[in-house]
């Protein structure tokens, strides 16, 4: 069939479809007509089809699930308020308050939030629930290993949130974030997907006030804002699968959360009275990237800039300008940092360091000590 005849046939079919539809509802005979003419075309024309029943049901089902989750958990999410004393040249010492983050109830008088939310040891803290009622924080445990804190709050009558298994997360899985956006809009809900797992990031509270390296975090495109810190990241079953911790400054829709399995271990240790210690090598360092290594005398790895006196690194004999290229055979890179490898060990563990020094490689063993934090 030549192109002219194809064109005429297409025009004729459009007329036929219009005539068949007539004044009846627009989709009433659509499927019947299309089934009769579908064999005529070989892909040269695009036909607009109505959404399938399965597609419609899937969208409605996900929306319903999201609404159900929000209804289920919103009353267990709180705003964290900081009260501090500041000096004013006109009024002297004044009390200032700010809503600075988010937390959520996990039972047994425990509220979970980020460590950087309650980092000022000179301030006092309280939480405000969904009804607007304020509750004083009676004690704070700041995790020395992760950006997490356990707040003890008495006389709470909230339903505890259920913990999920973060190890079963799949990239592309739908997640929901709830938090105190911008410190003003409590119970703000955003939705997105898991964009990645096992990420390594360095978080900062701004102007160098708080900085911490976190390993194994969840990346999501659910919109996070200042004030969301410490809020729950949830699956469609309403289970906590992460604790929102950071957003990427200057990049839209890149947020991070600490996995729920990390939180579950913290809660278990807290309840049992187990003292968690952060293992420390005792060096400050800069990462030598592949590009820099190609144009310098140094290999890829961690360039030692400072050795802490009396630390594991000091006792092992590490020196400034050493390059640590491997720890226990694992290469150090931008994606696998020295700190993230050390944090997988415990205080007292011996680690084998591959060190580049003055043009040659050597192996140094170091016994990790506890951080003074």
> How big is the chain, counted in residues?
373
Please, which pLDDT band fits residue 338 given cuts at 50, 70 and 90?
Answer: confident
Query: Pick the residue with more confidence: 85 or 56?
Result: 85
**Does position 164 have pLDDT exceeding 50, yes or no?**
yes
Q: How far apart are CA 291 and CA 300, in angstroms?
A: 9
- Look at residues 169, 176, 172 and name the one whose alpha carbon lies nearest to residue 65: 176
Residue 158 lies in a domain: no
Distance from C-alpha of 17 to C-alpha of 33, rounded to nearest angstrom: 7
pLDDT of 284: 85
Q: DSSP state, 37?
A: H
Question: What percent of the chain is modeled with pLDDT above 90?
Answer: 50
Mean pLDDT of all residues belonging to the chain: 81
70, 93, 122 - which closes a domain: 70
129 in a structural domain: yes
Helices H, strands E: what count in the chain? 7, 20
Given a cut of 70, whether residue 42 has pLDDT beyond it is no
Res 360: pLDDT = 96
C-alpha–C-alpha distance, residues 169 and 63, integer Å: 20
C-alpha closest to that of 368 among 277, 276, 274, 285? 277
- Residues annotated as part of the active site: 116, 147, 229
Residue at 348 is within a domain: yes
Residue for token pair 């309403």: 238
Helix (H), strand (E) at residue 198: strand 185-204
Q: How many domains does the chain have?
A: 4
* Domain CATH number, residue 240: 2.40.10.10
If you average pLDDT over residues 243-263, what whole number do you get?
82
pLDDT for res 211 = 55
Which residue among 52, 70, 88 closes a domain?
70
Domain that holds residue 229: 166-263
Give the residue-averaged pLDDT of 181-195: 83
**What confidence score (pLDDT) does residue 156 get?**
87
Average pLDDT (215-233) is 88
Residues 19, 37: one domain?
A: yes
In a domain, 273, yes or no: no
Pair of tokens at residue 261: 């399995």
| 158 or 27: which leads in pLDDT | 158
Q: Are residues 119 and 178 located together in one domain of the fold?
A: no
* Residue 251 lies inside a defined structural domain of this protein: yes
- Contact 180/189 with Cβ under 8 angstroms? no
């Amino acid at each position: 069939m030549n192109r002219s005849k194809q064109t005429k046939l297409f025009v004729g079919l459009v007329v036929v479809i219009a005539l068949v539809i007539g004044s009846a509802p627009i989709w009433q005979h659509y499927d019947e007509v299309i089934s009769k003419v579908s064999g005529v075309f070989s892909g040269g024309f695009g036909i607009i089809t109505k959404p399938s029943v399965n597609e419609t049901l899937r969208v409605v089902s996900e929306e319903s699930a999201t609404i159900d989750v929000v209804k289920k958990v919103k009353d267990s999410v709180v705003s964290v308020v900081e009260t501090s004393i500041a000096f004013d040249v006109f009024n002297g010492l004044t009390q200032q308050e700010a809503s600075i983050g988010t937390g959520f109830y996990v039972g047994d008088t425990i509220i979970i939030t980020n460590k950087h939310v309650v980092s000022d040891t000179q301030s006092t803290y309280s939480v405000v629930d969904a009804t607007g009622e304020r509750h004083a924080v009676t004690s704070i445990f700041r995790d020395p290993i992760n950006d997490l804190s356990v707040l003890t709050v008495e006389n709470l009558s909230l339903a505890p949130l259920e913990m999920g298994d973060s190890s079963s997360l799949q990239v592309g899985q739908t997640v929901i974030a709830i938090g105190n956006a911008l410190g003003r809009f409590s119970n703000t809900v955003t939705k997105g997907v898991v964009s990645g797992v096992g990420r390594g990031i360095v978080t900062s509270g701004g102007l160098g006030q708080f900085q911490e390296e976190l390993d194994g975090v969840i990346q999501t495109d659910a919109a996070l804002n200042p004030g969301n810190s410490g809020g729950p990241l949830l699956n469609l079953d309403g289970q906590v699968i992460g604790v929102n911790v950071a957003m990427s400054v200057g990049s839209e829709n890149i947020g991070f959360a600490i996995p729920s399995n990390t939180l579950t271990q913290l809660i278990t240790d807290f309840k049992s009275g187990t003292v968690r210690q952060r293992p420390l090598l005792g060096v400050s360092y800069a990462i030598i990237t592949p590009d820099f290594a190609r144009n310098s005398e140094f290999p890829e790895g961690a360039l030692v800039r400072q050795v802490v006196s009396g630390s594991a690194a000091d006792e092992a004999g590490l020196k400034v300008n050493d390059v640590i290229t491997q720890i226990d055979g694992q290469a150090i890179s931008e994606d696998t940092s020295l700190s993230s490898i050390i944090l997988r060990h415990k205080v007292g563990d011996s680690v084998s360091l591959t060190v580049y020094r003055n043009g040659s490689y050597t192996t140094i063993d170091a016994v990790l000590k506890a951080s003074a934090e």
